[in-house]
């Protein structure tokens, strides 16, 4: 089976489901200045109006409104919501427009390329997950460079996509297909769940009758200092401070008592505290006995 080679000077790409991510990537690929030029072949969305809007932003391609109008392309980007990727890939496989050597890829964070259902002898499958917020496509055009991109799939597809995404400023790294879910959960922990944790902190301060303006003055410097420490050290154990780091059992007990009426807060504190115990053990400031007692406190708190 042939594949678009890196020596190829021109490749065509069609996009199905060109929302904020799809339109941004298509425009970046169209405008990149590498040895491989890209032209946008077609853009297919749920409505012709949406397809036309996407084409206008991208600056290239033909807007279509149904899959029956699809024509051949070298690369196919499926940038639909995750739960539609499999269905779209199956419809694409049945459309008759795919030719051996085509690359079909998606940009889901949690799903691997295996969700793309194609005959094994027909096309190459891959996924590229840019760690970037595409909330504002115009802004993303200017800020995408430097974004890390997880790439997995068939070796031939990965080689081509590494080249193309590197050309638009992506820092590509390989990922095993069976580790895609774990990888994505890690990014959610560092991003979305961090926001959830900060929301709990604010809720606690509200319960402590501290007004919103004062809450910002309390939390914002702590957040900045903590993130700066982590980014400077690149080591969670070296960045940990606080009562568990120093083996302060009585303070942890006071905290758990204060949180006893709010199980969600208490459970979050205990779960993260257990992780902190492991980091404190690496630091070596607290004794094993102090950390054992803290672990017992955290375990009993969630067992109650």
243-300 pLDDT, tens digit each:
999 999 999 999 999 999 999 999 999 999 999 999 999 999 999 999 999 999 999 9
Give yes or no for residue 5 having a pLDDT over 60.
no
Q: How do residues 119-158 score in pLDDT, each as one tens digit?
A: 766 799 999 999 999 999 999 999 999 999 999 999 999 9
Sequence-ordered list of residues with C-beta below 8 angstroms from that of 232, at least 6 positions apart, any chain: none
Q: SS3 letters for the chain?
A: CCCCCCCCCEEEEEEECCCHHHHHHHHHHHHCCCCCEEEEEEEECCCHHHHHHHHHHHCCCEEECCHHHCCCCCEEEECCCHHHHHHHHHHHHHHCCCCCCEEEEECCCCCCHHHCCCCCCCEEEEEEEECCCCCCHHHHHHHCCCCEEEEEECHHHHHHHHHHHHHCCCEEEECCHHHHHHHHHHHHHHCHHHHHHHHHHHHHHHHCCCCHHHHHHHHHHHHHHHHHHHHHHCCHHHHCCCCCCCCCHHHHHHHHHHCCCCHHHHHHHHHHHHHHHHHHHHHCCCCHHHHHHHHHHHHHHHHC
Q: Write down the mean pLDDT value for the chain.
A: 95
**pLDDT higher than 70, residue 303:** yes
CATH classification of 10-179 is 3.40.440.10, yes or no? no
pLDDT tens profile 218-244 = 999 999 999 999 999 989 999 999 999
Query: What's the pLDDT at 35?
Result: 87
pLDDT at residue 119, rounded to an integer: 76
Give the start-to-end residue ranges of the domains of the chain.
10-179, 189-303
Please report the pLDDT score of residue 2 as a whole number: 64
171-174 vs 37-44, strand pairing mode:
unpaired
pLDDT digits (tens, 9 = 90+) for 64-106: 998 889 999 999 999 999 999 999 999 999 999 999 999 999 9
Asked whether residue 7 carries a pLDDT value surpassing 80, the answer given is no
- Mean pLDDT for 49-56 is 98
Q: In this predicted structure, what is the pLDDT of residue 57? A: 98
């Amino acid at each position: 089976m042939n594949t678009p080679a890196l020596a190829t000077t021109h490749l065509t790409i069609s996009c199905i489901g060109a929302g904020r991510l799809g339109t941004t990537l298509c425009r970046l690929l169209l405008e990149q200045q590498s040895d491989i030029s890209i032209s946008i072949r077609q853009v297919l969305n749920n409505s012709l109006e949406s397809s036309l809007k996407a084409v206008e932003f991208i600056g290239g391609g033909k807007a279509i409104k149904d899959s029956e109008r699809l024509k051949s392309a070298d690369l196919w980007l499926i940038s639909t919501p995750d739960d539609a990727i499999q269905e779209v890939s199956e419809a694409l496989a049945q459309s008759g427009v795919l030719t051996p050597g085509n690359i079909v890829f998606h940009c889901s964070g949690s799903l691997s390329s295996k969700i793309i259902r194609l005959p094994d002898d027909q096309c190459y499958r891959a996924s590229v997950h840019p760690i970037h917020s595409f909330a504002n496509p115009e802004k993303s055009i200017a800020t995408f460079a430097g974004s890390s991109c997880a790439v997995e799939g068939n070796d031939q597809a990965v080689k081509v996509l590494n080249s193309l995404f590197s050309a638009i400023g992506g820092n590509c790294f390989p990922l095993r297909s069976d580790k895609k879910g774990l990888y994505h959960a890690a990014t959610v922990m560092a991003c979305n769940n961090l926001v959830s944790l900060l929301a709990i902190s604010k809720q606690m301060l509200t319960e402590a009758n501290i007004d919103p303006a004062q809450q910002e003055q309390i939390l914002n410097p702590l957040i900045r200092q903590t993130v700066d420490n982590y980014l400077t050290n690149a080591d969670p154990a070296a960045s940990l401070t606080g009562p568990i780091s120093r083996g302060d059992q009585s303070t942890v007990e006071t905290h758990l008592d204060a949180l006893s009426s709010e199980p969600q807060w208490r459970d979050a504190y205990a779960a993260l505290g257990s992780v902190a115990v492991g980091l404190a053990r690496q630091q070596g400031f607290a004794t094993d006995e102090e950390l054992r007692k803290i672990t017992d406190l955290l375990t009993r708190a969630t067992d109650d």
